[in-house]
Amino acid sequence: MSNADIRGKFLWHELLTTDTSGAGGFYPKVLPWRTQPSGMPGYTLWMAGQAQVGGLVALPADATGTPPHWLIYVGTPNVDATVEHAQRLGAKICKAATDIPNVGRFAVLADPQGATFALFTPGPGGGGSPAPGPGVFSWHELATTDVAAALRFYGELFGWTKGPGHDMGAMGTYQVIERFGSQIGGMCNVQGPATPPSWLSYVEVTDSARAVAAAKGAGGRLLHGPVEVPGGSWIALFLDPQGGAFAVHEMPRAAATKPASPPPPKPAAPPPPKPAAPPPPKPAAPSPKPAAAPAPAAAPVAAPASAAAPKAAAAKPAAPKKAAKKASKKKAKKKATARKPAKKKAAKAPRRKVARKAPRKAAKKKAARRAKGGKARRHR
């Protein structure tokens, strides 16, 4: 790849942190990464499979007040010429152009709004980037105080162009940026005056929800997501345990799992029309009602046997009903006659008792008279 082809391309990503050992243990739990020594003292490589995707280094001792952060490296054919151009556009130098033996030349700048980024001119044979896939950086996002000004600055410096914009309501417009017609990132307003302008890098993952669970379990802090964004991708934003911000990016899910848009209806098999009201339930054994059925206009005088059959069938049930009524009346009469003698016996019973009581009283009276007569004779 020639140096002319690397202009405006994201070539490298570097984590500067206060705890390289802790960061080295955290990220491989969340992303499909592993660490590997670089051969340079104090510098570790991030590996996605066999591809080098970034670096890990301690924050410089003189970076007082600078929090842990990811630094993006953007390609340029000539670091020194681009530094001068950036200064004329209002950028500030954070680290002057410096050579890295057998690697290339770089410089660190702050854009006119204050976001930090690096310029990089790779050495001979460098400048390549891994093929897209899980573990590779897939999107880059600038949060700034002036989207229009930032777009002009980076457009002049790297040739980036304005892509489509997405209205985010109170958050403003999310402005997509393109390189040679391909979308490479976006720009948006910072959320609140206390948030400084900065670049955020996204790493591709196969499952954003799994990455969220892993980050939480490893001590990271979830800032946003996972949430679906225009185009069908899923994203989630984090702070690592040391405070470095990063994001994950899950590509649009399979159409069979979550279609981007509902499929059009098939005209060959339209759905059946719905009735205005549900039909009434059918009785299990409907009884014909010949009296209510009007006779056809051209019906013959003598109805056929098939037409008379329902009438006969309707008349038959009347016989058993009458017989049942007669039988019930007979039973009622029998019961009534059976009860009458019992009532008469019950009525005579008290009369017998009265009859028994009458002789007893007469006998008592006789006995009383006899006793009186006896006493009278004694007195005499």
What confidence tens digit (pLDDT) does each residue in 303-314 have?
Answer: 333 333 333 333
Number of CB atoms found within 10 A of residue 146's CB = 16
If phi > 0 it is left, if psi is from -120 to 50 it is alpha, else beta; for residue 307 that is: alpha
- Confidence at residue 125, expressed as pLDDT on a 0 to 100 scale: 75
CB contact at 8 A, 287 and 311 = no
Check residue 171 and give its pLDDT.
Answer: 86
Instruction: List the beta bridge partners of residue 182.
Output: 179
Classify 141 as helix, strand or coil. Answer: strand
Cα angle 36, 247, 35 (rounded to 5 degrees) comes to 5
| DSSP one-letter string for 147-210 | HHHHHHHHHHHH--EEEEEEE-GGG-EEEEEEETTEEEEEEEE-SSTTSPPEEEEEEEES-HHH
**What pLDDT, on the 0 to 100 scale, is given for residue 194?**
80
138-150 residue pLDDT tens: 999 999 999 999 9
User: 81, 87, 159: which is closest to 121 by C-alpha?
Assistant: 81
**What pLDDT is stored for residue 286 in this prediction?**
37
CA distance 235 to 207: 10
* Beta-bridge mates of residue 319: none
Question: Cα-flanking dihedrals φ and ψ of residue 65, to 5°?
Answer: 85, -5
83 token code pair: 């530094």
> What is the per-residue pLDDT for 193?
78
R_g of the chain, CA atoms, integer Å: 52
Task: State the Cα–Cα distance between residues 110 and 157, nearest whole angstrom.
Answer: 13
Percent composition of the chain: helix, strand, coil (DSSP 3-state, to 5): 35, 30, 35
pLDDT of residue 318: 42
Contact 174, 186 (CB under 8 A): yes
Instruction: Read off the pLDDT of residues 149-173 as tens digits, 9 standing for 90 and up.
Output: 999 999 999 999 999 999 988 889 9
DSSP 8-state assignment for residue 350: H
Instruction: Give CA angle at 251 (246, 256), nearest 5°.
Output: 150
At the fourth CATH level, the homologous superfamily of domain 3-250 is 2,3-Dihydroxybiphenyl 1,2-Dioxygenase, domain 1 (3.10.180.10)
The secondary structure of residue 297, as a DSSP letter, is: T
Q: What was the pLDDT predicted at 64? A: 79
| Six-digit token string for 365 | 């009276």
Q: What is the model's pLDDT at position 263?
A: 32
Could you list the pLDDT tens digit for every one of the 380 residues in the chain?
455 589 999 999 999 999 999 999 999 999 999 999 999 999 999 999 999 999 999 999 887 789 999 999 999 999 999 999 999 999 999 999 999 999 999 999 999 999 999 999 999 877 778 899 999 999 999 999 999 999 999 999 999 999 999 998 888 999 999 999 999 999 999 987 788 999 999 999 999 999 999 999 999 999 999 999 988 999 999 999 999 999 999 999 874 344 333 333 333 333 333 333 333 333 333 333 333 333 333 333 333 333 333 333 333 444 444 445 555 565 555 555 555 444 444 444 444 444 444 455 555 666 666 666 554 444 44
Per-domain residue ranges for the chain?
Answer: 3-250, 323-380
